[in-house]
Chains A and B, each alone.
Chain A
C-alpha cells in the first residue's frame, strides 16, 4: 500500500469540479482508493498496488474526473517523433536487458512540479518497480544530453562519474560501497561482472541504473523545460506501462510527448507507445459475474467512467493501466463504475449442510468438562523463545525456529506446558488458586508431513496453589476420563520438567496419550514461580481417536 500527498486545489483544478470534503471522501472511497487524512489543502490518499497510475496528482485527478463524470472516456495522448535514437548494447542482456524511453517537452518545472515528479518516481520505484528491481526510472534534463544515447554494461571499475549528492567522481564499485543509494540498492547489482550505464554521444555517463543518476546530466532544475525519461528492467511490457504512467502524467501537466527509436541488437521499437491496448469483452460473462443485466450501451457508459474506450465489442485500455490481465479486471471496473453501493444484495437459496470439524467439536466437549471442574481456559500465542521452551523447562529438545522473526519470539512451541507456566509466572499478583488449561496447537518435526512440520492440538492443565499435589491433577484427569468414557492408567516415566518419582505417562488402551506429574522445583525456580504446580499434557486428537472408536 502506498500513500501519496495531493494538493486539493490542484486536484480540483484538474478535475474541473469542486467537491465538499464529505463528497471527496465518499467518492474516493468508492473509486478504489482511500482518503486517509486531510491537512488543510493537502489530501493524503492511499493508492492500491493495482493502480500505480494513480500515484501522481495528475493520474489521480484523471481517474477522479472520469469517475465523477466530469471528464469521461479514453484520453488521447498524441506522440510526435523526435527522430532521436537509443542504442541498446548486447552487453546489458546479462544484467538489465530492457529499457523503454521517452522525451517530454515544454513543461515549466517549478519546485512544486519537481517535488511531484520525484514523488511519483519514488512511489513507482517502491511499488510497481518492486524497489527498483522490476523497474528503475531515470529523468534527465534534455539539454544536457547529446544523442544517440547508448545503454550498455561496463566493468564496475571502468565506470566513473560524479553521482547525485556527491562531490567527486566515483567508480561503479565505489558507488556501491560508499554512496547512500549504492548501499541501499547495491544488492540488485551484486555479483554482476558488468554494471549497466546510460552514456551519451559525448561519452558522458547519464546514470548507472538502478542505482543513481549523474550529478552533471541527471538533475532536474527549475530551469529544465524538456526531459528525457528512461525505465530499465527485465520485462519490456512492464517497463512500457511504467514509462506511460510518467509520460501521461507529464502530458497532463501540459508537456508534449516525443518518441525515440530503440535499437535493440535484434529488434527495433518505437517508444513510448501511448495507443490503447484492446481486449475483448464478453457481456454475458460480466453480467453473470456481477449478477446484473447490463446492456451494451450501459456498459460503455460505465467503462467510460473508468477511463476506458469501447469499439465493437473491444475495450480500449488506456496505456497507463497496469492491472488489466483478464476481462475479469474489466468486470471489476464496471462494478466500481456501477457503484458497489448500488448493487441489490442477495442471500441466495443454496441448500448446503453446515458441519463443524469433528476434532473442533470434540475439543469443545473437553472444554465443557474442564470448565465444570472450575478450571479457567487460557489461549496463548504459538511463538515462544528457546529459553522458555527448553532451558526453563529443564529440557534440550531440537526446536523449530523461524528465519526472520522481528521480535525475540522466534520458536514454534512443541508443548503447551511452557505457555501455561508462563501464564502462572505472569499472574503471581493475582488470586490463587490458579487452575488453568489450554487446548492449543503444538509443532513437532515430522518428515512425512508436506512441510516437514507436524502439528497437533494438545490439552495442557496446570493446577497451582499452596496445597496442590499429584492427587489433585490425577483427580482432574480421572474426572475428564470418566466424562469421556475412557480409562487411563499411569505408567512410570522420566521427564526432566517433573519431580522424579512423581511423573508418569498417561496410557489408554495401551496407547500413550500424554504425561502427568508434579513440576520440578528447579523448573519452577527457572520461571521464578514460588507456588507449587502440578500438570498434565495430552494429545487431543489421540483422545478423539479413542473416543471415536467406541
Chain B
C-alpha cells in the first residue's frame, strides 16, 4: 500500500493521535498530551499497529499507591507526630490529649500502639490512661519516622525499585488502615516503525475528511470538495443471518424439479395407511418379516384398524396372494386374511402412493408418469446412522411400451442430475418388483459403492388387481436422506431434524 492510500484510510481517532507520537512514547503520557480518552487512544494505537505504523509493547508492573489515609497523612503529617506534639514530660490524661491533638479516637488508639513500640511515649494506668513523652519522643519529633519519610516519595512507586529500608517501611504501613496498597499496572510503550516515521512526517488534515455520508450532507451539498475517509474494507464485520427454508426442503425441491422437468406428475397422500395399500396391494405376503412388529409402526387403540376399499379390489388382491388370480402367477399359497389388511400402519415406503394411484388410473390416462417425495417410517431405535423417520423419492412410469432398459434410463438421468453420474444397477429383491434392482453410487472418498435404494418393474400380481391388466410399470423408491447427508457433509442423521438453528443458519443452500 502506498503512503497516500494508507493515510487516506486513517480513522479520525488515528489522525488525532498521530501528531503527538512525535514526542510521546508511552500511553499515559500520550493520553495526557492528546487530551483524549484512554480508550480512544488505545483503540487508535491498535489500529495503527494493525497498519504496521507502530509497535506496542506492554509490560505489567507492581506499584505502590496511596490509600485514603495515605494521601491525607502525606499532606497533613503523620498522626503519631500530631500526638507527640501535644505531649510533655508530665503525664496528661488520654481524653485531654485526644482533644488537644484533634485526632479521632481510633487514630489515637493506633498511634499509642505504634509510639509505645518505638518508646516515644510512656504510659501510666491510673483512673484513666495517662501519657507523657518517652525516651525517644523528642528524637522522633525532630527527625521523623521511617514511615513518614517513605510517604514523602512520589507515588505510584515501583515495587521493584524499593530499598530494603523502604520495604520495611512499606510493610509497617501496610499494617495500618488505608494507607498504602500494591497494584498491578500496565505500561504501554509505543515505538514507531520505519513506515510510522514516514507517516508522522506528513502533515495530516484532520477536520476535512468525511466519515459517514448523511442525508444532511446530500441536502446541503456540504460533501462537495471534501475527502471521504477510506474504510478498511478488509476488516471483519459482525454476522447477520437471512431467513431460510430448511435445507432438507431445499434438497426435496430440487428433486421435485428434476421429476417435473421429466414430465412426472406429483402424488401426495396420507402417512397413515391401512396395511392393504401399504403391503397387500403390493403383494407383500401377510407373514412377511416387514409386517412384523419389529419393523413397522402399527397404530393402536381406536386407530388400530381402518376400512378396506371396494369389494372387487379386495377380491382381486386376495386372489393374487392366494392363487395368483388373473395374473398367471401361482401366488403365495396361503389363506389371505382381511382383518390383517385393515391394520393401520405408518407408511413404510412411498410406494403406498403408487398402489393408490394405480387403483385410480384409467386406460385413457396412459401413458402416465408419477413421482413423490415424502416421509416414511420404520420402527427403529435412533442413533447417528438410523432414524425412525426417513425420506424417500418414488417414481412410476405406466406405459404399454415401457421396458427394463427404460427403467435404467430414467434412473441414470435422475441420479446424474442429483450429482451421482457414476451409478451402477445390480440385481436385488423386493416382493413387488421383478426384475428388481439396487442402485449403487460410487463414493469417491470411501472408494466403494454405496447403496441408495431399490427399483424394478412391478409384478403382474401387483399390476393386474389394481389396473385390471398386465401393463408394464417401472417403479423406484430410493432413500433420499443419504443424498442429503452427503451433500451437506452431515455425519449424524439426527441432525437432519434436530433443527439446530446454528447449523441451519450457517449451512450453505442447496446449490444444484
Contacts and interface: CB of A to CB of B under 8 A. Distances in A.
Given A48-B428, A48-B429, A355-B260, A453 B501 contact: no
Contact of A453 (B324, B344, B435): B344
Interface string A350-378: 11111111011000100100111111111
A26 to B, nearest CB: 9
Nearest to B277: A450
Chain A interface size, under 10 / 10 to 19 / 20 to 34 / 35 or more: 35 or more
Contact of A134 (B287, B346, B404): B287
A436 interface: yes
A407 B388 contact: yes
Of A355, A373, A434, most buried by chain B (CB within 10 Å of CB) is A355
A327 B404 contact: no
A326 B243 contact: no
Of A335, A355, A402, most buried by chain B (CB within 10 Å of CB) is A402
A348 B461 contact: no
B329 to A, nearest CB: 4
A69 B289 CA distance: 34
A430 B500 contact: yes
Interface residues of B, number: 101
Contact of A350 (B245, B367, B497): B367
A407 B246 contact: no
B57 interface: no
Interface in B481-499: 496-499
B424 A357 contact: no
B382 interface: yes
A360 B266 contact: yes
B303 A423 contact: no
A356 B266 contact: yes
B252 to A, nearest CB: 9
Contacts of A373: 243
Interface in B201-258: 241-246, 248-249, 253, 256
Of B246, B264, B434, most buried by chain A (CB within 10 Å of CB) is B434
Contact of A336 (B249, B274, B331, B427): B427
A484 interface: no
Interface stretch (A214-222, A262-270, A307-315, A380-388): A380-388
A409 B241 CA distance: 32
Contacts of B334: 234-235
A372 B307 contact: no
Contacts of A407: 381-382, 388
Helix, strand, loop or mixed for chain A's interface?
loop
A346 B413 CA distance: 10
Of B299, B425, B499, most buried by chain A (CB within 10 Å of CB) is B499
B403 interface: yes
A71 B247 CA distance: 53
Interface string A399-442: 01111111101001000000000010011001100101000010
Interface stretch (A29-37, A193-201, A296-304): A29-37
A353 B370 CA distance: 10
A340 B271 contact: no
B215 to A, nearest CB: 26
A325 B409 contact: no
A343 interface: yes
Interface stretch (A287-295, A495-503, A509-517): A287-295
A433 B430 CA distance: 48
B401 to A, nearest CB: 7
A452 B404 contact: no
B304 A49 contact: no
Contacts of B332: 325
Contact of A371 (B245, B306, B375): B245
Given A344-B405, A353-B265, A376 B505 contact: yes
Given A332-B434, A344-B405, A347-B406, A352 B303 contact: no
Given A326-B459, A343-B405, A378 B266 contact: no
Contacts of B429: 32, 48-51
B409 A347 contact: yes
Contacts of B253: 364
A364 B244 CA distance: 12
A374 B244 CA distance: 7
Nearest to A422: B499
Given A48-B428, A376-B504, A325 B324 contact: yes
A153 interface: no
A452 B427 contact: no
Given A48-B429, A291-B405, A436 B382 contact: no
A489 interface: no
Given A364-B253, A451-B306, A348 B300 contact: no
Contacts of A482: none
Interface string A142-160: 0000000000000000000
B474 to A, nearest CB: 10
B267 to A, nearest CB: 8
B317 interface: no
B39 interface: no
B434 A331 contact: yes
B330 A343 contact: no
B369 A350 contact: yes
A230 B30 CA distance: 103
Interface string B371-397: 000010101111000011100000001
A345 B472 CA distance: 17
B330 A326 contact: yes
Contact of B306 (A234, A378, A452): A452
B245 A367 contact: yes
A379 interface: yes
A402 B459 contact: no
B263 A353 contact: yes
B272 interface: yes
A431 B324 contact: no
Interface in A316-345: 325-329, 331-332, 335-336, 340-341, 343-345
A237 interface: yes
Contacts of B162: none
A46 to B, nearest CB: 10
A329 B264 CA distance: 28
Contact of A403 (B242, B299, B412): B299
A341 B424 contact: yes
A455 B435 contact: no
B322 to A, nearest CB: 11
B404 A290 contact: yes
Contacts of A347: 406, 409-410, 412-413
A292 B302 CA distance: 52
A350 B369 CA distance: 9
B107 to A, nearest CB: 52
A122 to B, nearest CB: 15
A91 to B, nearest CB: 21
Contacts of A404: 293, 297-298, 300, 379
A453 B262 contact: no
Contact of B298 (A237, A343, A402, A441): A402
Nearest to A234: B334
A383 B381 CA distance: 13
B264 A354 contact: yes
A404 B496 CA distance: 24
Given A326-B330, A341-B424, A350-B367, 15 more contacts: A29-B426, A235-B334, A331-B434, A347-B406, A348-B399, A350-B399, A352-B265, A360-B256, A360-B266, A372-B243, A378-B499, A378-B504, A404-B379, A409-B388, A431-B241
17 contacts: A49-B429, A133-B287, A134-B287, A356-B260, A360-B268, A367-B249, A371-B242, A381-B388, A401-B301, A404-B298, A427-B502, A431-B241, A431-B502, A436-B501, A443-B271, A445-B303, A452-B344
Q: What are the nearest 5 A-B pairs in CB distance? A: A291-B403, A403-B300, A291-B405, A48-B429, A451-B306
Interface of A: 29-32, 48-51, 127, 130, 133-134, 234-235, 237-238, 288-292, 325-329, 331-332, 335-336, 340-341, 343-348, 350-357, 359-360, 364, 367, 370-383, 400-407, 409, 412, 423, 426-427, 430-431, 434, 436, 441, 443, 445, 449-453, 455
